[in-house]
Chain A
Amino acid sequence: MIKRKIIFLIIIILSIIAIQACVTNYYFRYVYKDANSLLRNKNINEKYFLKAHLKNGDVCILRDTWKVDTLSSVLIGKGERFDFKRNIISEGDISIPFDSIAIYETNKKIVDAESSRLLALGIIDAFDVVGGLLCLTHPKYCFGSCPTFYLNENDNFHFANAEGFSNAISPSMEYTDIDALNNGTILNNIFSLTMKNEALETHCVNSVNILAFPRKKRERVYNSPKNKFFLCENLYLANLAKVNNKDITQNIKIDDRYEYFSPSDIDNLKSKEEIYLTYENVNNSSNLGLLVNFRQTLMTTYFIYNAIGYMGDEVSDIFAKFESNCKIATNIKDGIKNELGDIELYLWDDNSKSWTYQDSLYETGPIAINRQILPLKSKSNNSTINLKIVLNKGLWRIDYLALTNFKKEVEPIEISPSGVLNNGKNDDFSLGLLKNPNKYLISMPGSEYRFHYVLPKNNQDYELFLSSKGYYLEWMRKDWLQEKDLFKLYTMFENPKKYLKDEAHSFKLYESRLEKEFWDSKIDKKKFSYYAK
């Protein structure tokens, strides 16, 4: 909120400067009909330039050395004399009798006429340069990351519906990523999805399939962290949500992108916090699951960029080692992740008067909101359900926490693309690559593909999920080469606990400067047609 106010203030200041830049310099000369009135001018000591317009049409322009000699009734000084056609007649010492002068004109120097404009341009230039440098050195703050997927191709990354395989930063880390698309009612059997490369990365896409589940009115399908799919009905919104006695109910009650998040711990990036949830009047307390809409802050992005920066000019050698050494790859994949921890769910057990662990979830990626379900393992006989969520402080953004009843586990219908548009044109070659499990569609920065899918039945509504498989290669930036630090890299992978403690202060600088600005730039509560429930 403070950052938003600062941005607002900057915009206001720039606007004022801009308006100021439009202001005309009102400037009037002073004219005097005789020497006496010139001498009576209270500002005469400021030694303005003086123009003596003579009765014959000539003009004498005197610099700041002129004097009025009242004894001799002459005006004396140094300057130039011009005739009525303004050709120069003489230059140097000038003596002009009063009676030949028709009018005296003084002019005050226009000082700093361009200062307000130069200030405005200076500020905007500095703003552009700093912004440009920040974006070049931290592209993810500005250019997004991983393949981003959109139902509406005109949306920007703030409203991405899914992001694919965010963890797969090298070939050996390739995996299939499943994301709920949260689609509205499907009216026909043709469905389209746009994939964009909005980062300085090479995306190697093995498959982009749709998982479809037929659904009836008031039914939804959600996936669990283990990629099991549950057909669900009923919704129970939170009556109370608290963190450290702070009420955050409004943040997590409705699926509105008005998220709860907290700043990281300045002393240790491993620190946890707890969210306490109360759900009242839960009519059907059997087969309950907690719906969690969440995504990450830019913390993991920071780690990925740091890791590559620490590799410096050895980045390709080290990545080659990852590919050939499973242990290193596992350390990269799980080291820091395990220390940061999952979002863990606990249920309050009235009988044992204790919290019982239920399940947990983790999904990398700061852009698209993940929508998953955590089925409760324990059954509650009470209509009031108390839950506790334990999560890393500063790593997560939570949008929605609601209970639902799952009816049964369901199996998806997997659909591969039937057509591909590459920048608006049919691209059968890319379609062929996606249909061949041994080939990859290579998507370069700025690429945009639109995939078409044919759903099994017309006039049947489906819940849709994206199943994307592949990996991506982060492009090395020149500035990162200067950050080479193999010892830090070693600490990061071999002793992530220490790394998270050591790095807490540095991350805090990034977090306070960029995190909120980045996300506060989104338009609040934008509604898409496909969000309509």
Chain B
Amino acid sequence: MLNKIISIFLILTFFLGGCSSFPYFPSYLPSSDKVGVNQFGSYIKLELKNGNDIGGELIAADNSQIYVLIETQNDKIISKKTIKLEYSELEDFSFYYAKPENYYSRIALSLVSVLHGFWLVITLPLNLIVRNSVAIGSKNSFKYYGTEVNSKQLSQFARFPQGIPENIKFENIK
């Protein structure tokens, strides 16, 4: 019986939350209370039509293009470069303007339901629903999807909301 309960718990945990665990966030992404005084752009994740995924700092955006500072690694040497992408090259994108809190570890506290005896039938799903909702909700709380913003709004979350300054070559931005 206990094995069954644990199995159900694990399945539900993986099904509800474990399958979408807490993602990587770069160090330049501020916590929510520092978002107003952060000098960097948002962290943008791009899904390209060629099947590749790219993630990096949003440098600037205008009506037709997005500039993203990405990190590349060759022979253990990490280098940064800014690339320019046309919207037509993108399948989809999303961006985070602040680093969310990680509540995924607290899903494990649902196991406390074992102490509830037969009430576990009610309390375990309730725990999983609430804790997973909180974790998933938190993960997405400072996130926008490409469909939710236009290019003007997107530019407000870039390092250069005014666009790439005229005196700077975008390739030199690090």
Contacts and interface: CB of A to CB of B under 8 A. Distances in A.
B113 interface: yes
Contacts of A80: 39
Contact of B119 (A117, A135, A448): A135
Contacts of B98: 110, 113
B167 A56 contact: yes
B33 A109 contact: yes
B117 A108 contact: no
A22 B137 contact: yes
A19 interface: yes
Contacts of A157: 118
Interface stretch (A81-89, A201-209, A249-257, A459-467): A81-89
B122 A59 contact: no
B113 A128 contact: yes
Interface in B108-153: 109, 112-113, 115-119, 121-123, 126-127, 129-131, 133-134, 136-138, 140-144, 153
Given A27-B97, A108-B36, A142 B118 contact: yes
Interface in A41-91: 48-49, 51, 53-57, 59, 61, 63, 80, 82, 84-86
Interface stretch (A119-127, A265-273, A426-434): A119-127
Contact of A59 (B39, B117, B173, B174): B39
Nearest to B138: A117
A135 B123 CA distance: 12
A169 to B, nearest CB: 20
B101 A117 contact: yes
A229 B166 CA distance: 101
A124 B130 contact: yes
A29 B156 contact: yes
Interface in B26-84: 32-33, 35-37, 39-40
A114 interface: yes
Contacts of A11: 126
Interface residues of A, number: 67
Contacts of B117: 135, 139, 141-144, 198
A328 interface: no
B116 A131 contact: yes
Contact of B140 (A18, A24, A48, A86): A24
Nearest to B167: A56
A21 B140 contact: no
A144 B121 CA distance: 14
Contact of B36 (A15, A23, A109, A135): A109
A14 B126 contact: yes
Contacts of B173: 84-85
Contact of A15 (B97, B101, B129): B129
Contacts of B2: 446
Given A23-B137, A29-B157, A117-B101, A110 B35 contact: yes
Contacts of B130: 14, 17-18, 21, 120-121, 123-124
Given A14-B126, A18-B134, A136-B115, A25 B142 contact: yes
Contacts of A248: none
Q: Which of A18, A80, A129 has the most CB of B within 10 A?
A: A18
Q: Which of A51, A108, A448 has the most CB of B within 10 A?
A: A51
B156 A85 contact: no
B162 interface: yes
A128 B129 contact: no
A105 interface: yes
B159 A86 contact: yes
B138 A114 contact: yes
A34 to B, nearest CB: 12
A11 B113 CA distance: 16
B165 interface: yes
A28 interface: yes
Contact of B116 (A17, A21, A132): A132
B168 interface: yes
A488 B159 CA distance: 75
A103 B162 contact: yes
Given A29-B157, A125-B109, A21 B126 contact: no
B103 interface: yes
Q: Which of B2, B134, B161 has the most CB of A within 10 A?
A: B134
B160 interface: yes
A132 B112 contact: yes
Nearest to B40: A86
A102 interface: yes
A463 B168 CA distance: 92
Contacts of A131: 115-116, 119, 123
Given A109-B33, A132-B116, A157-B118, A121 B131 contact: yes
A198 B120 CA distance: 13
B19 interface: no
A56 B174 CA distance: 15
A53 B160 contact: yes
A455 B95 CA distance: 70
A142 B137 contact: no
B138 A143 contact: no
A57 B167 contact: yes
A53 B141 contact: no
7 contacts: A21-B134, A84-B165, A110-B98, A117-B138, A131-B119, A198-B117, A446-B1
Given A53-B161, A55-B165, A521-B121, 17 more contacts: A17-B130, A23-B141, A25-B141, A57-B160, A110-B36, A113-B142, A114-B101, A114-B138, A117-B134, A121-B103, A121-B134, A127-B126, A128-B116, A128-B127, A131-B115, A142-B118, A446-B1
